[in-house]
């Protein structure tokens, strides 16, 4: 369900490189959450750096929603860049596994497979 790779880069550098890989692969970054900063501002600080990127390919999103509008709850895809045990990790929840839990549509399964393949490629490019 989880795909996680380790990076020798800092969280900041890996996040920047991931944003570039997202664009190169036909996706867009909708938003970047700085979870450490947000939780600090809310009075619940954490020690580890953590960035969460919401990414989307508009055509794939449209295709998913055309098949089943309720899948909007599973969009956009999220990729996390975070520190754990002093190391930078880049990870995502498997789009294939998530959509398989939500739908038995072969069309959605095929779309999820395409999206997951590209997202893993983006992560590999960024690490």
DSSP structural state of residue 126 = H
Chain-centre distance of CA 88, in angstroms? 15
Residues of the chain with pLDDT under 70: none
pLDDT value of residue 1: 93
CB 93 within 8 A of CB 2: yes
30-40 pLDDT, tens digit per residue, is 999 999 999 99
Environment class of 32 (CB within 10 Å of its CB; exposed 0-12, middle 13-18, buried 19+): middle
Structural domains in the chain plus CATH codes = 2-126 (3.30.310.70)
pLDDT number for residue 116: 96
């Amino acid at each position: 369900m989880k795909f996680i790779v380790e990076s020798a880069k800092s969280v900041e550098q890996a996040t920047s490189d991931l944003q570039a890989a997202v664009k190169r692969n036909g996706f867009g970054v909708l938003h970047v959450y700085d979870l450490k900063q947000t939780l600090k501002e809310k009075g619940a600080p954490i020690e580890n750096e953590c960035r969460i990127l919401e990414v989307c390919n508009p055509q794939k999103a449209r295709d998913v929603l055309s098949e089943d509008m309720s899948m909007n709850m599973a969009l956009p895809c999220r990729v996390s860049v975070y520190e754990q045990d002093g190391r930078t990790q880049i990870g995502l929840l498997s789009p294939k596994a998530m959509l398989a839990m939500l739908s038995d549509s072969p069309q959605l399964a095929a779309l999820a497979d395409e999206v997951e393949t590209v997202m893993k490629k983006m992560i590999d490019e960024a690490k």
